Amino acid sequence: MDPPGADAYWNRETSKHGEGYSGKIVKEAKIVCLSDPDDKDNEPLYQGGDNLPEGSSVLAVGATLEDFDLEALKEAQPNVVFVSHPKARGPLPDLLEALPSVNWVHARSAGVDFLTSDKLSSITAQNNVTVTNAKGCFSSTLGEYTMMACSYFAKDLPRLLKNKKAKDWDRYDVLELRGATMGIIGYGDIGRACAKLADAYGMDVLALRRNTKKSLYDPYVKEVFGLDRLNELMSKSDYILVAAPLTEDTKGLVSAEAISHSKDGSVIINVGRGPIIDEEALIAALQDGTLKGAAMDVTTIEPLPKESPLWELENVLLSPHNMDKTATFAKEATEMYLYENVPRYVRGKTLLNPVDVKAGY
C-alpha cells in the first residue's frame, strides 16, 4: 500500500475510470460478497471471468453467515469483503472474525451507518482492516434535488399546481435564490456537490463541518463553521441543508434548540439521515410557522408511518429516500469498486474513499 496521508476520493462528475493507477500486479484480490445473490446491479462482479480486473476472483456470495462454507473459505484465504446487503451489520463482524485473512472491506454505499457497530470497530482495528465506501457516486443527483427543493419553496410550486387545477390566473410575487444563503450541515462530498450548484445560482454558502481546515479555501464557500457554531449557521441561513452522515455525534444534532435559532422564513432540506433532525421539534416548527417549510428525502423511521403529521403538512415536500436512486446508481457504485478500487488493491496502491469506522464516515 502507499503510505497513509494520501487519501483520495472518487467523484462521479470529475473522476474517470482507469486514471490514477498503473503498475504490475503484486497480490490477488480474493473476494467474498456479503450481498444478495440476486442483486442484478452486482452481476458484473458475480459473473467473474473477464468482467473482473486482472488478479481478482470471487470466492463466494451470500447474504447471511449461514450462506458461506466458512471452513472452505478459511482454506482459500480471502482478503476482501464486498458489502451491499442492507442487513449486513450483524454478519459482517462475525464474518471478519471467522476470516482473519481479510484486510479490506468495501461498502457499496456512501453511508455506512447500516454497518457500523462497536464490534466492527474493534475487529477492523484489531485485524488492521481497511474500510472504503462508494462516496462520490450519488452526490450530483442529490445536488439537483436540493436546488429543486429550494425552488419549490422560492417559487411556491404548490400554489402554481393548485392554481392550475383551479384554472386560476393568480399572479403573485416569488423569491430569488440569487443572494439567498444556504447553510450546509455536513460538508462532505454531497454537501459540496450541493454547494457547487448553489454557487452557480448566486447563493452564498455557509459550511458546517467537524474539520473546518478542509474547507478553508473552498471556492464555493463563503464561511466555514465548526460544530459549536450550529445555532449561528441556523440563524443566518435561508435554506438549511442537512447532508451529514449518521453517527453518534450527529444523531439529534439539529435539535429543538437549533431549530429555535432558525431564521424567519427558512426551509430545512434533509438528504443525510432522518435521525440527525429531532423530528418532533421539526414538525412543531413547521406547524407553528417557525419554519417556512421542509424537504425531506429521509425520515427518522422509513418507510414513514402513515400516522406521521409530515404526510398532512402542506409545507412539506416528501420523497421516499429515492432522490439518489437513478436507474443505474447501484450498478455504477459496483463498477466504481470493480474498476477503480480492485485494480488499486492488487497493485498495492492507495484505495479510494477510506472510511473511519469509529467516526462513522
* Model pLDDT for residues 315-340, shown as the tens digit of each residue: 999 999 999 999 999 999 999 999 99
pLDDT confidence band for 228 (50 / 70 / 90):
very high
* Cα–Cα distance, 95 to 90 (Å, whole number): 9
Q: How far apart are CA 55 and CA 28, in angstroms?
A: 5
Mean pLDDT along residues 226-251: 98
Distances 270 to 182, 185, 335 between C-alpha atoms, Å? 13, 10, 27
Mean predicted confidence (pLDDT) in 291-309: 98
**For residue 121, pLDDT beyond 60:** yes
- pTM of this structure: 0.94
Residue 248 has pLDDT above 60, yes or no: yes
pLDDT attached to residue 7: 64
* CB burial string 137-166: b at 16+ within 10 A, e below: bbbbbbbebbbebbebbbebeeeeeeeeee
Nearest Cα to Cα of residue 9 among 360, 344, 346? 344
What beta strand segments (E) does the chain contain? 29-34, 56-62, 80-83, 104-107, 130-132, 181-185, 204-208, 223-225, 239-242, 267-270, 293-296, 316-318
pLDDT band with cut points at 50, 70 and 90 for residue 2 = very low
| Residue 321, number of CB atoms within 10 A of its CB | 16
Q: Which three cell numbers stand for residue 281?
A: 421539534
| Cβ atoms of residues 54 and 347 within 8 Å | no
The answer, yes or no, to whether residue 133 has pLDDT greater than 50, is yes
List residues bridging with 315 in a β-sheet: none
CA distance 28 to 115: 25
User: Is the model's pLDDT at 1 over the cut of 70?
Assistant: no
User: So what's the pLDDT on residue 230?
Assistant: 98
Q: Is the pLDDT of residue 221 over 70?
A: yes
Confidence of residue 19 (pLDDT cuts 50, 70, 90): confident
The cell numbers describing 259, all together, are: 431549530
Nearest one of 141, 154, 229 to 184, comparing CA atoms: 229
